[in-house]
Amino acid sequence: MLEGSFSLTDHNGHAVTEASYRGSFMLVYFGFTHCRKVCPRSLACMTAALDTLGETRRMVVPLYITVDPERDTPERMKAVVEANFPRFTGLTGSREAIDSAKASFRVFSRKGLDLEDAEGYAMPHTAFAYLLGPDGKYLTHFMDTVDDLQMANRLRILLTETERVA
């Protein structure tokens, strides 16, 4: 079973865990700020899906967890999310903390050669968005091939059903 636990630092430098967001749905995405294609596309899709939800989007806290903590400092995460994806909270931490979060979500990533990157590497990774309920339990995930309207429709249904049961 997917645990969905983490102990990281947000882009404002505050220590946070999954418990910091209890009471809200969490839409969690793992990526890295130097990503040129998949991460920006996925984050834009999630942003558009949340926008489609209107006021219901306030029930969801979107989190962007780095898989590249060596480059993605809190300052770097803050600059990227505030400039491009302001609905998101960027999360980073030590390599050990990131590896623990990845294991909790069953996320794979590895450093790979990328000659187009100034530092010579990229971080291929699992490109799912995970939805956790207000109790922190896993509800579903979205593959990176889903479009914003499909995601918004599934989110609307899940948010409504989960709130009705609670």
Task: Find all residues with CB under 8 Å of 48, minimum gap 6, and list them.
Answer: 148, 152
14 among the known binding-site residues?
Answer: no
Task: Find all residues with CB under 8 Å of 29, minimum gap 6, and list them.
Answer: 39, 42, 43, 46, 62, 63, 64, 65, 88, 128, 129, 130
Q: What's the rounded Cα separation, in Å, for the pair 7 and 60? A: 19
35 among the known binding-site residues?
Answer: yes
45 among the known binding-site residues?
Answer: no
Binding residue positions for Cu cation: 35, 39, 125
- Detail the residues annotated as belonging to a binding site: 35, 39, 125
